[in-house]
Structures are given as structure tokens and as C-alpha cells.
Chain A
Amino acid sequence: MSPLLPVPFADLERYAPTWCLATEADRWERRMTSSMAELSAFYDDAFPRLEEAIEHCDKYPLDDLPPEEERLLQLVHSLVMVAMAVEIFCQPKTVDSADAVLHRVKEPLP
């Protein structure tokens, strides 16, 4: 099977099926249904590659990313989503958010 991510990011390939998600709604849902162990494992492996991933994607125009680079950017967006849980709240759900929801209904893609 051909890899989902660009070759230099093969070490993150195992996270791609879970975290290459196009929309915030999907990324939020995945965070809420993941354990802290799963979130931390992804964060610990992906965070050190963040700067390289951005630099790599920026070799291409934002509106014309090849599929592998588009998925890498989705993985970066997921890292941002997961960082909130790992760095700030130490739990998947926003602390003190009770039953509140806030749906992102429009966003630029990718």
C-alpha cells in the first residue's frame, strides 16, 4: 500500500489513518473519543516534527498541495487539536466546559 504521508514523515505514518482528518468536527470527535495515552503518544511523536512538517508543506502552494502534503497538513491540524488536551487541560475534554458545545460550521480547507 502506498504511504499516506510524504516519505520524510514515514515515522508518523502509523498515526495517519487515525489523525489525517479534513475537518475540525472530525478532529474534535477523535480527541473526545481518544484516551490520554493515545493522545500523548501521538503528541510526543508528532510535536518534534511540527516545524519540519510546516516547512515541508510550504514547498508547495497552499491551494495546490499534493495529496500526501495535504494529509500532512491535516495531521498538523490534529496535533494542534491534541495539544490542547495534552499541554493545557491534561484530559481530552475542555476543563469546566460542562455540557456546552460549539460547532465549527465553516472553515477554510485544507
Chain B
Amino acid sequence: MTTTWPKPAAGSWTEHHPELGTGPISFDDCTSAEFYAQERDRIFKRAWLNIARVEDLPRPGSYLTKEIEIAKASVLLIRDRDGEIRAFHNVCRHRGNKLVWNEDPRAETQGTCRQVTCKYHGWRYDLEGQLTFVQQDSEFFDLDKETRGLVPVHTDIWNGFIFVNLDDEPRQDLREFLGPMLTGLDGYPFDRLTERYDFVAHNNSNWKLFADAFQEYYHVPALHPQQVPPAVRNPDAGFTCAHFQCDGPHRVVSTAGPRRWTLDPAYMYPIERATRSGLVGPWEAPDLGNIPQGVNPGGVESWGISNFQIFPNVELLIYSTGWYLLYRYWPTSVGTHRFDGSLAFHPARTVRERVEHEVAAVVFKEFALQDAGMLGGTQAALETGVLHEFPLSDQEVLVRHFHKVVADWVALP
């Protein structure tokens, strides 16, 4: 029951973007230490990076730290006394100690504070980053507290998503960087989807390989056959997506078709039928009011999910049933990365809704584990260096676009 969707006039999604070509591509960008070093300097120290949501810092004094390993950066986000969110390098101005950490200086932490105190010699900073207290300051020489505040990091907020930019001077402001396709999501009620299930994993694959797995659905019938019960399982069934679109360094793929729960009951597991939730989340959508058309940029009929890839390392999957998934891939070495994943729903009002959300979160983990389990194998096989070119189908056009954009950014002086 493969549904096919109309392709662009050029004949394919890939040829619609002539600059992408149709030939095989290399994945040496996932195994080369030199390339990884360039990704550090030219991507992660230049691009806007989403590191948190405004709900993560609910009140003045709320803080959190974020490790950006590839850039060797630790960022401290604080909501100041006026309610503004500020970003600083998490480094004390005195002797360079890591300023905010809990039990392990390499681990992220969060909480609420009145001021920030360094563990080493007790220097204190206020919520605006100003140095306010130096132990025995008369022992110092010409110390001007005014000029020894925390070092700020460029930060901006888009629809509640907090971004930072580690460049000395960002080449684009955040909205310019995001471009028209992503800012087409302006007004989506992200601020009402505050019930979060957050996941963390350390994965033995290059950060781009995990992103690749989530920007095509071609792998689904082979890797995830258990997504439908055995009686209706057809290993030769293909899957095609309704719409692909690229905008600058960003991408989207949309799926469409009959909702899972409108299919014959045989296509669902008993737990899905019993809880009215499952693989694609709760069947019942909350009333979120007006939804911007930008969630379905292709304007496809019977739209289901749009999977936006915000360059370089974020994926935002918006479901037509009123919830979203957020993935972030944080490189930790050329062959490893840290995966942050969140499911965000409207706050459950009843036990029934809470169970619907729990089912979605449990099913998500099962199938994400299949992707994660396999990708260690992909990394290991690529590192054998036996092959250096790989054919990609039209359903994998976004994989092609992603690796090209990464190469383009790395090539930019």
C-alpha cells in the first residue's frame, strides 16, 4: 500500500536542486579527524545553536549549563532579575575555573540561584554577570570589578527556543540565519506544549549519521518492521514522503496519508488500540487554536508530520496531532556524539491523557534504540575505509543536501 506523491517538474526532488547532483556521495566527512576539526571552527563556532527552551529557565535566578564539547565550550544561561535570558561562558574571571557545576565539572547542571559563586576562591557574580564580590580584594593590584564580569555569549530567542552563537561577531542575526521556511513557524504554540519527556544518549557514531537516519523514511520498512504487527507486515513495502524542501542550510520532509488509527485495526498493536496512542503519538489532538501554515510548507493534503532540520544539529518534528519532538546531536569526537531528545505535549489534564503521552514516549524510545543500535555499526563500517562513494535515492535527498551544506560551511573561509 505504498502511496506515491507528485514530484517536482524537474522529475525528482533531487533534480529540483541541480546543485546537489545525482551521483554517489562520500561519508569521509564522518570519519576524518581533520574534517571534524574544521566542523568545530567553521560550523559549531559560527552557526546559531539551540541549547534550551525558555521553559527550562522559569524564573529570575533560574540557570542551566550546556556543554558544547566540539567547541570546547561550556555555556551558562541565566534568567536575570528583569526576566531576560543571558548567556555567558561558564568560566570564572579570576583563575579560569569552571564556574557552575555540581558534582562533576564535565556534567551539565541546572537550578535557581541569587548569585553565582566560584567554588575555588569564592568570587561572586550577580544574575547580570557583573563581578560583585572578591575575597580580600585589597590584596589585589589595580583590580577593576567593572571590567571583570562574566564573558557574554551571543544569544537570541526564536519562538521560545534559546540559541547561542560562539562567533566573536555572528555573521547573521538569528532570524536571518533561520530564513523564511523556519520563520514560517512563527506563532506555532510551542509555549503551550510544556509537558516534556527528555532523553539523553551517548552514541558511537558521528553526529551527522544520526541526523541522516531521521531525515529520510526510506529505512523504515527494513530497520523498523515491528512498527506494524506481523500479520500486516510487508518487508517489500516501500515508503515515500509527500514533500521535501530545502531553504539555505535547513531542510524539511513532510509525511502524509491516512492516519494510523483510521487504518484497519490489524495495523495497530493492542496497547495502541486500548490507549488511543502509539507510534505517532496520541490520536486525539488538543485544541491549539490557529496553527501557522508554515508547519506544512508543501501544503500537502492529509498532512501528518513535518520534520524540520535546523542547521547544523537540530531536528524539530511537528505532528498534525498537536505535539512535537526535538532532537539535538552534540558531537563529542569524530566517531561519537551525545543525543538529546525531547517529546513535548500540552500538559495532561487527566490520567487518560497522561497515559496517552506515556505510550508515545515509550514507543519513541523503542524505535530510536533501533536507529541508535545500528549506527554504531555504520560508523565502524565506514571507518574500515573500504568504500568512499555511496548511491543515494531520491527519498534520501535531504541526506545529500545536509552533507553538501556541511561541506560548503567547512569550505567557507
Instruction: Give A contacts to B, CB under 8 Å.
Output: 24, 47, 50-51, 54, 57-58, 60, 62, 65, 73, 76-77, 79-81, 83-84, 87-89, 94-108, 110
Query: Are B201 and A102 in touch, CB under 8 angstroms?
Result: yes
| Closest 9 A/B residue pairs (Cβ) | A98-B373, A100-B372, A106-B198, A97-B369, A83-B271, A57-B351, A100-B373, A97-B373, A102-B201
Instruction: Give B contacts to A, CB under 8 Å.
Output: 195-204, 223, 226, 229, 269-271, 274-275, 339, 341, 347-355, 357-359, 361-363, 365-366, 368-370, 372-374, 376-377
Given contacts A24-B361, A103-B201, A105-B199, contact A80 B373 (CB under 8 A): no
Query: Are B274 and A98 in touch, CB under 8 angstroms?
Result: no
Query: Are B354 and A62 in touch, CB under 8 angstroms?
Result: yes
The residue in chain B whose Cβ has the minimal distance to the Cβ of A69 is B351
Query: Are A97 and B197 in touch, CB under 8 angstroms?
Result: no
Q: What's the Cα separation between A24 and B271 when bound, in Å?
A: 17
Query: Are A88 and B201 in touch, CB under 8 angstroms?
Result: no
Query: Are A62 and B369 in touch, CB under 8 angstroms?
Result: no
The residue in chain A whose Cβ has the minimal distance to the Cβ of B372 is A100
Given contacts A100-B376, A104-B198, contact A73 B223 (CB under 8 A): no
Query: Are B370 and A96 in touch, CB under 8 angstroms?
Result: yes
Contact with B365, one of A54, A76, A102 (Cβ below 8 angstroms): A102
Query: Are B366 and A62 in touch, CB under 8 angstroms?
Result: no
Contacts of B363 in A (CB 8 A): 84
Give A99 Cβ to nearest chain B Cβ, in Å. Answer: 7
Query: Are B226 and A88 in touch, CB under 8 angstroms?
Result: yes
Given contacts A100-B201, A102-B369, contact A95 B226 (CB under 8 A): yes
SS class of chain B's interface: helix, strand, loop or mixed? helix
**20 pairs, CB–CB < 8 Å, chain A vs chain B:** A47-B274, A54-B351, A62-B353, A73-B354, A76-B351, A76-B355, A88-B366, A94-B370, A97-B369, A97-B372, A100-B203, A101-B201, A101-B372, A102-B365, A106-B196, A106-B198, A107-B361, A108-B195, A108-B197, A108-B354
The residue in chain B whose Cβ has the minimal distance to the Cβ of A88 is B226
Give B7 Cβ to nearest chain A Cβ, in Å. Answer: 32
Find the residue from B229, B353, B358, B370 having the highest chain A CB count within 10 A: B358
Q: What's the Cα separation between A107 and B358 when bound, in Å?
A: 9
Give B372 Cβ to nearest chain A Cβ, in Å. Answer: 4
Give A77 Cβ to nearest chain B Cβ, in Å. Answer: 5
Contacts of B274 in A (CB 8 A): 47, 50-51
Given contacts A84-B366, A87-B270, A88-B366, contact A104 B199 (CB under 8 A): yes
Give B173 Cβ to nearest chain A Cβ, in Å. Answer: 31
Query: Are A80 and B358 in touch, CB under 8 angstroms?
Result: yes
Q: What's the Cα separation between A103 and B361 when bound, in Å?
A: 12
Query: Are A81 and B362 in touch, CB under 8 angstroms?
Result: yes
Q: What's the Cα separation between A105 and B348 when bound, in Å?
A: 19
Given contacts A50-B275, A96-B223, contact A58 B199 (CB under 8 A): no
The residue in chain A whose Cβ has the minimal distance to the Cβ of B228 is A88
Contacts of B370 in A (CB 8 A): 94-97
Q: What's the Cα separation between A83 and B370 when bound, in Å?
A: 17
The residue in chain A whose Cβ has the minimal distance to the Cβ of B196 is A106
Given contacts A84-B362, A88-B226, contact A104 B373 (CB under 8 A): no
Contact with B355, one of A54, A89, A95 (Cβ below 8 angstroms): A54
Q: What's the Cα separation between A54 and B350 when bound, in Å?
A: 9
Q: What's the Cα separation between A14 and B362 when bound, in Å?
A: 24
Contacts of A60 in B (CB 8 A): 351
Given contacts A84-B366, A103-B200, contact A89 B226 (CB under 8 A): yes
Contacts of B353 in A (CB 8 A): 62
Give A53 Cβ to nearest chain B Cβ, in Å. Answer: 9
